[in-house]
Structure 1
Amino acid sequence: MDRFPPPYSLPWDLHPLLPGGDGTGRTLPAALQPGRLVVSDKGAGEPAFWLSDGPADYYLWKRLLAEHQQTGFWPLLLGSDDEGGPWATGEVSFEGVTSPADHDPEAVLREWWYRYVVLGPVDTAPFGADWPAGRAPTPLQRSDPGYAAENFGGSLLYDDDLSRLRLGLVAASSADSVAAIGWREVADHTTDVAEISAVLRDWERRYGTRVVAIDDGALHLSVSAPPGNRDEALRVAAEHYAFCPEDTWETTDALIDNKITPCSGTVLAEYAETLINQPIWFFHWY
């Protein structure tokens, strides 16, 4: 990582995001670009996150990523439409949101498998209608999760077509950030986005994933320890399908040139092949 200059004091704008609003002793590695706090449009309440007014600055995002464990803030890249929604217009909600710690990730995925997947159109062989017995083993080979996230984020921010991505700062970990910002787009899949974060916590531990970008109804993860063989990938594919079981399980909305196609195809085994050594996972809820 680069050598950074002395850290800046924590801006007053970020204090309300912390428990009790106390930013004593907190610092940032760089001055923030212009931005503001975002509060849910569902009535008065505590702010959800900080959002830049303009496109994310790559070097600022990179510094915040490197220092997130010290600062307590996770830097997200947030896509929005031409009118600034959903983030700038406060289209976030905390109604019914619990804590990610309240949920067992395997139990969550198993429930979703039987609720959404069994009757779906995807050929789930070799598992059929049954949730796969046993978890996929944690891969032995992995790169640094921070480097994997930095590499992916840099690819996004240097793409001329993605200049609309803004910087969001959330007082949470990578996995918990989707719950901390009150993300609504998964409401048709689960009314409690903390269940999404619970699964992401597990994937962080097992596969070194990080939440890099959220764009409309899409979630973009870097992966530092992807499955390395077909058997591992099959079990991961089953988890992905339970996590994001779209009706046709097809999409071409990945951020980088439509090259990343998790949640595509109608045969689980074929999808699993795309996951072997794949450093990016992409999910889209319509």
Structure 2
Amino acid sequence: MTSDSYTPPPLTFAEPGSTWGALAAAFPTTGQWPIHFAGEHRGRPWEVHHLWRHDERAACETLREQFGLDGRDEGSIQEDDYCFACGVVADRSGELSIGEGSTDLALLSSIADHPHPGPLALVSVADPADCLAELGWSGAMNAGMLGADARVVLKSWQTRFGAYVHSAWGGTLQLSVTRPPRTLAEARLVAREHFHFCRYDSQFHGTGGIGPYVSNLVGLDHWTFWWD
């Protein structure tokens, strides 16, 4: 199959009146992950992503690899230091754990549904973190990342923070979060991961700087990312 011949499968939508939280909580039974999805930025521009489940070349396998934390050059390390001047970050590993995840899906039903522009689509996946890959989401393509690339980050955030895909439209992605950082020290580490996932010019534009962004992350139950 070539990229020219690929046609995304049709979307399935939830029944009227359905809520994202209730459908997310029911995922272990239904196998269908709900996502508010406007339907744009959909497709797999590169053939390798057509077979994202089976081709080891399709995406990075570890969080460190996706974030480029190994083998960084001097320039990228300086950029990291500059962006996080608001607080000393001793741990550059990108591995912060907050709580346990045994009841995350049940907790999602109590999180308020955040604003979104798209209808509630249902995606058949083995893991919620796979939904952007299965949709062929390409909203971050200008930054060199497709849905199949994002899944290793989304899986890690599900496990460590209870963060689940809620909506995607254009170059915007929103996650609902059951275990957000509770202190500024935790929020600084989470903000570093947000920075690596969605670089400075996009993620922190208009926030007033890194300091206010970090402060806002404390207890925040939804994370929003935007790629230009």
TM-score (normalised: structure 1): 0.62
Task: Please identify runs of 4+ aligned residues in structure 1 that moved more than 6 A.
Answer: 112-117
1:71 aligned onto 2:27: no
Change (3 A) 1:92 1:225: same
The percent of aligned pairs where both chains have the same amino acid is 23
> Deviations along 1:126-166, whole A, 9 cap, x unmatched?
679x994344542238794335533446344xxxxx5x521
Kindly state the Cα deviation for residue 94 of structure 1 after the two structures are TM-superposed.
Answer: 5.8
User: Which structure ranks higher in relative contact order (CA pairs < 8 Å, sequence separation ≥ 6)?
Assistant: 2
Structure 1 match to 2:186:
232
Indicate the RMSD between aligned Cα atoms, in angstroms: 3.6
- The 2-side partners of 1:196 and 1:180 are apart by 11
Q: Could you say which residue in structure 2 is the equivalent of 1:109?
A: 67
1:182 aligned residue: 136
CA contact (8 A) 2:164 2:175 kept: yes
Select between 98-107 and 204-213 the one with higher mean Cα deviation. Answer: 98-107
- Give, in angstroms, the shift of residue 168 of structure 1: 1.3
Aligned residues: 217
CA contact (8 A) 1:145 1:210 kept: no
CA, structure 1 residues 141+179, in 2 after alignment: closer, same or farther (shift >3 Å)? closer
Matched AA of 1:109: F
| Post-superposition CA distance 1:28-73 (Å, at most 9, x none) | xxxxxxxxxxxxx9424562x5243xx9734265553232112211
Gaps of 5+ in 2: none
Number of the residue aligned with 2:122: 169
Partner of 2:105: 146
Q: Deviations over 1:82-111 (max 9, x none)?
A: xxx517xxx422623234885101221135
Any residues of structure 2 matched to 1:1-286 within 5 Å, and which?
42-45=4-7, 47=9, 50-52=11-13, 57-59=16-18, 61-79=20-38, 86=40, 91-93=42-44, 95=46, 96-97=48-49, 98-99=52-53, 103-111=61-69, 118-119=78-79, 123-125=83-85, 132-140=91-99, 144-152=103-111, 154-156=113-115, 162=116, 164-172=117-125, 173-247=127-201, 249-250=203-204, 264-267=207-210, 269-286=211-228
Contact 2:99 2:160 (C-alpha < 8 Å) held by counterparts: no
Which residue identity lines up with residue 188 of structure 2 in the other structure? L
* Change in CA separation of 1:66 and 1:127 when aligned onto 2, cut-off 3 Å: closer
Structure with the higher helix share, 1 or 2 = 2
CA distance in structure 1 between the aligned counterparts of 2:21 and 2:203, rounded to whole angstroms: 33
8 Å CA contact retained: 1:116, 1:242: no
**DSSP-derived class of the 1:247 partner:** helix
1:86–1:118 Cα change, 3 Å: farther
